[in-house]
Amino acid sequence: MKKITKGIYYLEDLGTPSIISMYLIDSKKKVLIESGPSATVSQLIQAIVSAGFRPSEIDHIVVTHIHLDHAGGASLLLQAMPNADVLVSKKGAPHLIEPSRLRASAKSALGPIFEIWGGIEATNSSRIHTVEDGVSLDLGDHVLQFLSTPGHAPHHISILEESSRVLFTGDAVGIYYNDLDALIPASPPPSFDVELALQSLNRLSETNPQVLLTPHYGIQDNPSIFLKRNLETYARWKEIVNSNLEKGSDLDFIIEDLCQAYPSYRTLVNDVYRGTLFRMDIKGYLK
């Protein structure tokens, strides 16, 4: 566990290989940002206990969107957190209540990654509350503001803590591998929209954040530089993919061009987990 600022903690990264970075807000009302995937629920509960909290103290689990690495564990986690509810966007909520379509589409998009993340079980609607763009939630010592940030997924939200200006980005920013200094868009099919993603990145910049807490992975303490790098990367991928599509070239050529533009990607491509996500994120651009 690492303290970011008053009452805001970076718990740890869940999974091996790392799937998602988890954050907790210790206010009068206690909040977990994301549930993480179902495969790592017991690891998460251990992390919460090691950080000095009881699972029964958690009041809200905010999920930025319903992809299985972010919300797949929600239903299981609620069993261990009898006083918690799940906060999710209006468009996301029905998929948590009735996840069969979400499960099927994740299975086909994720391939072997589906097994690593685990599936998703239905969440009782009585334990779900929806949040909308611009709505604030007073936690006692902190105030959360919800921002609609579509692009990665149409129903995606980010969360700004108003006094500290800590911004929980969710997947509105790309995946950053610190060990390689490599950034790739978080752009999975079927619903990634690059234009909306670029707009959302600009919107995040306009909130004037002090720190970004990202799911993949960890803390970004120079938000303007990181967001600018995201804008450039998302736009460059669009150029590279589109020029290959015009030539009629296939995925291997796109990968080669991306690796030429960003040499650190060569290591990614050969990693089983990261390489699978990398290829999936290229496919999100193929429309």
Provide the binding-site residues for Zn ion, judged by CB under 5 A.
67, 171
Which of 67/274 has CB closer to Zn ion? 67
In three-state secondary structure terms, 199 is: helix
Q: Hey, which residues does 196 pair with through a beta bridge?
A: none
Least distance CB 67 / Zn ion (angstroms)? 3
d(CA 276, CA 270): 9
Least distance CB 99 / Zn ion (angstroms)? 15
Nearest-CB residue for Zn ion: 67
Which of 53/234 has CB closer to Zn ion? 234
In DSSP notation, 218-233 reads EEES-HHHHHHHHHHH
Kind of pairing between the strands at 166-168 and 211-214: parallel
d(CA 24, CA 41): 15
Least distance CB 237 / Zn ion (angstroms)? 17
Q: Which residues contact 187 (CB under 8 A, 6 or more apart)?
A: 152, 174, 194, 197, 234, 237, 281, 282, 284, 285
Which of 26/171 has CB closer to Zn ion? 171
Structure tokens at 237: 């991928």
Least distance CB 20 / Zn ion (angstroms)? 10
**DSSP symbol at 67:** -
Report the run of H or E that residue 89 belongs to, with start and end: strand 85-89
Which of 20/128 has CB closer to Zn ion? 20
Least distance CB 268 / Zn ion (angstroms)? 18
Which of 30/67 has CB closer to Zn ion? 67
Asked if 185 and 145 count as a contact pair (C-beta separation under 8 A), the reply is no
The residue whose two tokens read 């800590």 is 166
Which of 67/155 has CB closer to Zn ion? 67
Least distance CB 167 / Zn ion (angstroms)? 17
Structure tokens at 216: 């993949």
Least distance CB 103 / Zn ion (angstroms)? 15
Which of 89/164 has CB closer to Zn ion? 89
